[in-house]
Structure 1
Amino acid sequence: MPDRFTPGQSWPIGFGATCLRALLYILLVAGMMQGVYYEALQQPEIRFSERGFTELTQSVVLLSASALLLYTRQAFKILPTVTLLLFAFVFSSLIREQDAHLDTYVFDGAWQLLVGLVVLPCLFLVIRRRYAFIEEFERYANSLSFGLFAAGFLTTYVFSRLYGRSEVWMAILGEHYERTFKDAAEEVVELFGYTLILIAIIELALLARRWHLARLATP
């Protein structure tokens, strides 16, 4: 049965809470960029590779977002089909980031199989509950979380791919072109996009908590 609870006055976020969250998010982004700087400065042999700080942090960010989505879905019982679809997307991205390891230590193309095993059942459930999904999405689309998630998606899956093209960096650097520049540009932008997605999921969890508490307080 779809969740028909209307959040009503549980939407607003206080000014103090907004400032605190903004500060924490700024510190999160700043900390990641400091890690990128350390990787470039102190780890020249592995920088921007599968074993470097940037790539490993991408996986940690995606794993954290996936776990938080599962917690939100199970703990608050809010937007169950939306959170399921978001989980399928984020967890599939996590699997995709492990493609080199899976191809090397499992078999070539293992990540595609694992993504299929995650995405197909989730899509089946969402399609089966499509009317509930549409209702939930209409509520979610008007939230800060959705805006941040859309920004993270565009940053990671559109902008970073275009910005990280070899042709672009060859045109910019000319005869001074080195692949390191291209890899650094693409991977750092990807990391920022994944961070936006994590922040979006944090905001979704906080929103779900407010809705949950408001629902409990509703006679």
Structure 2
Amino acid sequence: MPSSPPWAISFRTALLRATLYTLAIGGIAQGGYLEVLYLPEVRYTELGFTEFTQTLVLASCCALLIYIRHVLKVWPTVTLLLLAFIGASLVREQDYFLDHYVAEDTWKYLVALIVLPSLGWVIFHRQRFLEEFRHYSNTFSFGLFAAGVLVTYIFSRLYGRQDFWRAVLQEHYIRDFKDIAEEAIELLGYSLILFATIELLFLARRIYRARQTP
């Protein structure tokens, strides 16, 4: 019988993780509900539960990717590209504070400083990137990450269109409905990206241990 690759996990482990991720999603949904009930002054604003959790999730993803890249040293070009993408998203989420306390459109310059050098490095090492991506694209982590990107950057934007909500609510249209729907779906997408990063961490640890074994 052929041996399992270093990234293989058991059914029990997969079931446990799926259960924990389900509970986490439920907790986030409950947090949004409590935000509406008990934080009416700041609900779905930059100071509310949803926006704060988005920032916390993205910051956690960045910290995990830095650990994977610089400590475990697994797939450095792939993780650099992921880190640049998520780091840019983290900066973008702080646009209100940057515009208010620093200068208008500051976040755009910070995103450019993150993305352009990282993209240039990946292009320069494109052969290494393609080799690493060939492995990463066949993992559960990649599937979750792709789902998170589609939910956050495609579906939430389309679902949160003002024209759509005006058509639904007609003369009863209130911008809060649109904002709540968009931000809640965005948080769901970010959560999927966090789960993908956690899965990548577990995978990287297994690969790291396999490298240490003679």
TM-score band by shorter chain is over 0.9
Deviations 1:19-70 (A, max 9, x none): 2111211111111111100111112221111111101100000000000000
* Counterpart mapping for 1:95-114 below 5 A: 95-114=91-110
In the alignment, the residues of structure 1 paired with residue 43 and residue 163 of structure 2 have an alpha-carbon distance, to the nearest angstrom, of 21
Query: Structure 2 vs 1, CA of residues 8 and 211 (structure 1 numbering), >3 Å: closer, same or farther?
Result: farther
* Counterpart mapping for 1:1-219 below 5 A: 9-217=5-213, 219=214
* TM value normalised by structure 2: 0.96
In the alignment, the residues of structure 1 paired with residue 98 and residue 7 of structure 2 have an alpha-carbon distance, to the nearest angstrom, of 42
Residue 211 of structure 1 and its aligned partner are, at CA, apart by 1.1
Residue 204 of structure 1 and its aligned partner are, at CA, apart by 0.5
Query: Structure 2 vs 1, CA of residues 142 and 64 (structure 1 numbering), >3 Å: closer, same or farther?
Result: same
Flag structure 1 segments of 5+ consecutive residues without an equivalent.
1-6
In the alignment, the residues of structure 2 paired with residue 41 and residue 170 of structure 1 have an alpha-carbon distance, to the nearest angstrom, of 25
Q: Residue 4 of structure 1 corresponds to which residue in structure 2?
A: none
Please report the RMSD computed on the Cα atoms of aligned residues, expressed in angstroms.
Answer: 1.2
In the alignment, the residues of structure 2 paired with residue 71 and residue 54 of structure 1 have an alpha-carbon distance, to the nearest angstrom, of 26
Identity fraction in percent: 56
Deviations 1:104-135 (A, max 9, x none): 00000110111111111111211111100000
The AA in structure 1 aligned to 2:41 is E
Residue 11 of structure 1 and its aligned partner are, at CA, apart by 2.6
* TM value normalised by structure 1: 0.94
Q: Residue 3 of structure 1 corresponds to which residue in structure 2?
A: none
Flag structure 2 segments of 5+ consecutive residues without an equivalent.
none
In the alignment, the residues of structure 2 paired with residue 215 and residue 43 of structure 1 have an alpha-carbon distance, to the nearest angstrom, of 49
Count of residue pairs brought into register by the alignment: 212
